[in-house]
Chain A
């Protein structure tokens, strides 16, 4: 062992420090570059579709006539998914955080996470082969009894491959996302608030209503927004389940289409201007989900500052 002076400028060591910190910095910047690249390349490849004469675009009426029905379809499908998934997800999160026996809670959380682990194409196959078939009698009933509502206007699809079925499958897929995020927030509720409410004689539900839900509201909102982001961009469930068509108000007839499914169904065989059109559609989807996610993240970070006080 030869003693090395403490102040030695160990060339290798110092260079290692520089190289290593440089590599980490480069990796971080690469991520920013990738996100920027996603936007850039989508725009570059989409420009031909945006500038092409109207009659060259599919449908012959220009890009905006092509895109708006599928934007509306995307929004309808996502809205159905959220309307179904939000209350159930909040219920499940409450069950795991405040109702289930302590020993069971983490196991139950794992069961819900299993829902998130199942690949989307399997959900799509399940929706197309099982759910659509099982649910079509209910559509017949809805058309017969609730047909006066525009959204349940008959004649109902006999195959069950409608936007409502697709929405239900989407609801199943976003449920674990909303559940796991809300569960985290519910568990962060200050214990003192909960115990104070219980000590004043509140029932468990009153405690939840007075202490847990007001505390968790921003968290729930952002969880729902993140679920919305997922529902907007989900492809397979819609591509496999929905028999697509023109925009219709009725949810129980075949028809409507979403951006993601439109891309998945047409991209493999597309060429030339059609590729640009589909990439432009992807760009629209990217912008919509980006906006939704940014709002959700913004709500979360704002919420973090509040909850830091507790």
Chain B
């Protein structure tokens, strides 16, 4: 009991006693960075190692300081915070690394003469060898692949959007949570998990059985992509239709409007922004799919603008084949330059679609009248 009576000689208020000072994390961080740099200087400096060592030192330092001053409970809290923040930083690493790699390797490819306007038709290994040996420009481009991607994705969208939207309308407006609606919801969820290559095999197997063995066209690829796209469209449209207020429907019914006209003229226009952005996200998802196109549309090096006949190139399969089977096996550099250029174009496409989805959702959002 005597100890509690002894006045504690401290400048700090009793309220903040037993707590780390506010500047503690910054002080520990600075110390960790300096010690980390010193350790790394001994074994050979690199920024990545510096970051890792400093982060470990920071966590150890802060947690042990906290354990000494604040006790084990607070120390555990600090440790958990360090781990959680650390895992977020670790998750950012691949994102930054992927985008950096694609930018650094892709920009030279994009700057090749005629990269966006020519195809790979007639570009042989000899051209690539010459480009490497005499430093000439890298020939060939992605026009055929870009055209293929746009056509296949458009056709897939034309198939998926009506089917997906009508299904969502059935689930929300007609299903009444019945057995069929429940079954559809469940299997749509299951369909979301179909591996993309299995979707490709399904389309291939279907057309092999119906049209004839070895049928590979852009349309087969579009069917494969639709299998992947429909569940995404259904899910997003369903969510959007569900949040349309029931008062709007009831007001329309009260005016004597038929159900189908209510849906077409009231419900869908109200939800159109969300539906459109969901569809855009679905397009962004399937535009980068490689495996289903690989097994359904084959590869092509020349421009093929007929979706229903002949093999067709697409951006993802272009990247894949240029990396795996370079045009000139002895000099793979021009091929990988083209592949990275195509990867940059593909990432830009996907990002633009994602941004467009957000913009659509914002611009066409129903006026709330506030």
Which A residues contact B (CB, under 8 angstroms)? Answer: 6, 13-14, 16-17, 19-21, 23-32, 34-35, 37-38, 41-42, 44-45, 87-92, 94-96, 99-100, 108, 111-112, 114-115, 117-126, 128-131, 172, 175, 179, 203-206, 208, 226, 229-230, 232-236, 239-240, 260, 263-264, 267-268, 271, 275, 278-279, 282, 285-286, 289-290, 292-294, 296-297
Is A289 a contact of B193 with CB atoms below 8 Å? yes
For B189, the closest partner residue in chain A by CB is A297
Pick from B88, B167, B202, B339: contact of A95, CB below 8 A: B88
Q: A235-B196, A289-B194, A289-B195 are in contact. List 13 more A-B contacts (CB 8 A).
A: A17-B260, A27-B162, A29-B180, A31-B234, A32-B183, A45-B205, A118-B95, A124-B320, A125-B319, A264-B295, A279-B205, A293-B189, A296-B193
> With A and B bound together, what is the CA distance between A157 and B2 in angstroms?
68
B288 at the interface (CB under 8 A from A): yes
Looking at the assembled complex, report how far the CB atom of B149 sits from the nearest CB atom of chain A, in whole angstroms.
11
> With A and B bound together, what is the CA distance between A271 and B354 in angstroms?
39
> With A and B bound together, what is the CA distance between A61 and B230 in angstroms?
39
Pick from B81, B87, B91, B196: contact of A233, CB below 8 A: B196
Pick from B166, B202, B291, B347: contact of A236, CB below 8 A: B291
Residues of A within 8 A of B69 (CB): none
Is B316 a contact of A117 with CB atoms below 8 Å? no
For B201, the closest partner residue in chain A by CB is A282
6 shortest interchain CB distances as A-B pairs: A233-B195, A119-B288, A91-B87, A27-B166, A293-B193, A24-B170
Is B209 a contact of A41 with CB atoms below 8 Å? yes
The proximity string for B residues 204-239 relative to A, scoring 1 for CB distances below 8 Å and 0 otherwise, is 111011000110000000000001001100100000
Which of B7-15, B70-78, B119-127 contacts the other chain? B70-78
Pick from A121, A203, A271: contact of B214, CB below 8 A: A271
Which B residues contact A (CB, under 8 angstroms)? Answer: 73-74, 76-77, 79-81, 83-88, 90-92, 94-95, 97-98, 101-102, 105, 162-167, 169-171, 173-175, 180-181, 183-184, 186-199, 201-202, 204-206, 208-209, 213-214, 227, 230-231, 234, 256, 258-261, 263-264, 284-285, 287-291, 294-295, 298-299, 316, 319-320, 323-324, 336, 339-340, 343, 346-347, 350-351, 354
- Can you list 24 pairs linking A and B with CB atoms under 8 Å apart? A31-B191, A32-B187, A34-B230, A38-B194, A41-B205, A41-B209, A89-B91, A92-B87, A115-B91, A172-B94, A203-B77, A204-B80, A205-B77, A208-B80, A235-B291, A240-B323, A263-B201, A267-B204, A267-B294, A275-B213, A279-B205, A282-B197, A286-B198, A289-B194
Is B208 a contact of A91 with CB atoms below 8 Å? no
Looking at the assembled complex, report how far the CB atom of B61 sits from the nearest CB atom of chain A, in whole angstroms.
18
> With A and B bound together, what is the CA distance between A25 and B166 in angstroms?
8
> With A and B bound together, what is the CA distance between A114 and B259 in angstroms?
40
Pick from B195, B213, B298: contact of A268, CB below 8 A: B298
Looking at the assembled complex, report how far the CB atom of B200 sits from the nearest CB atom of chain A, in whole angstroms.
8
For B187, the closest partner residue in chain A by CB is A35
Is B193 a contact of A122 with CB atoms below 8 Å? no
Residues of A within 8 A of B294 (CB): 264, 267-268
Is A28 a contact of B91 with CB atoms below 8 Å? no
Residues of B within 8 A of A25 (CB): 170, 174
Is A38 a contact of B316 with CB atoms below 8 Å? no
Residues of B within 8 A of A99 (CB): 81, 84-85
Is A236 a contact of B85 with CB atoms below 8 Å? no
Residues of A within 8 A of B319 (CB): 121-122, 125
- Name which of B163, B171, B209 has the most chain A CB atoms within 10 A of its CB: B163
Looking at the assembled complex, report how far the CB atom of B241 sits from the nearest CB atom of chain A, in whole angstroms.
11
Is B295 a contact of A117 with CB atoms below 8 Å? no
For A280, the closest partner residue in chain B by CB is B201
Is A42 a contact of B98 with CB atoms below 8 Å? no
Known: A41-B206, A120-B289. A92 touches B91 (CB 8 A): yes
> With A and B bound together, what is the CA distance between A95 and B92 in angstroms?
13
> With A and B bound together, what is the CA distance between A105 and B70 in angstroms?
29
Is B88 a contact of A42 with CB atoms below 8 Å? no
Residues of A within 8 A of B231 (CB): 31
Looking at the assembled complex, report how far the CB atom of B214 sits from the nearest CB atom of chain A, in whole angstroms.
7
For B83, the closest partner residue in chain A by CB is A91
Known: A206-B77, A233-B195, A282-B201. A31 touches B167 (CB 8 A): yes
- Name which of B98, B169, B264, B324 has the most chain A CB atoms within 10 A of its CB: B98
Is A204 a contact of B170 with CB atoms below 8 Å? no
Known: A172-B94, A235-B195. A293 touches B209 (CB 8 A): no
Is A45 a contact of B209 with CB atoms below 8 Å? yes
Residues of B within 8 A of A292 (CB): 193
Pick from B170, B199, B347: contact of A28, CB below 8 A: B170
> With A and B bound together, what is the CA distance between A297 and B182 in angstroms?
13
Residues of B within 8 A of A89 (CB): 87, 91
For B186, the closest partner residue in chain A by CB is A297
> With A and B bound together, what is the CA distance between A260 and B197 in angstroms?
7
Looking at the assembled complex, report how far the CB atom of B106 sits from the nearest CB atom of chain A, in whole angstroms.
10
Residues of A within 8 A of B336 (CB): 129
Known: A88-B90, A285-B195. A122 touches B102 (CB 8 A): yes
Is A91 a contact of B102 with CB atoms below 8 Å? no
> With A and B bound together, what is the CA distance between A119 and B76 in angstroms?
39
